Amino acid sequence: RVSLFIMCDTVVIDGKGHLLGRLASIVAKQLLLGKKVVVVRCEALIISGSLTRNKVKYAQFIKKRMNTNPGRGPFHFRSPARIFWRTLRGMVPHKTVRGQMAMGRLAAFEGIPAPYDKKKRLVVPAALKSLRLRADRNFTVLGELSKEVGWGYTDLVAKLEAQRKIKEQAFYAEKKAQIALKSKAAASADLSAVSG
List of residues 6+ apart from 123 with CB closer than 8 A = 13, 14, 17, 18
* pLDDT of res. 118: 86
For residue 142, the model assigns a pLDDT of: 97
pLDDT number for residue 195 = 63
According to the model, what pLDDT value does residue 4 have? Answer: 53
Residues 192 and 196: their CA atoms lie apart, in Å, by 6
With left for phi above 0 and alpha for psi between -120 and 50, is residue 35 left, alpha or beta? beta
Q: Specify the 3-state DSSP secondary structure of 38.
A: strand
Tell me, letter by letter, the H, E, C secondary structure of 41-104.
Answer: CHHHCEEECCHHHHHHHHHHHHCCCCCCCHHHCCCCCCCHHHHHHHHHHCCCCCCCHHHHHHHH
Mean pLDDT of each 10-residue bin along the chain, 196 residues long:
61 96 97 96 96 97 96 95 97 97 96 90 95 96 96 95 91 90 86 67
pLDDT at 196: 53
Q: What is the DSSP letter of 107?
A: E
pLDDT of residue 171: 85
pLDDT at 6 (0 to 100): 55
Q: How far apart are CA 156 and CA 120, in angstroms?
A: 24
pTM over 0.85: yes
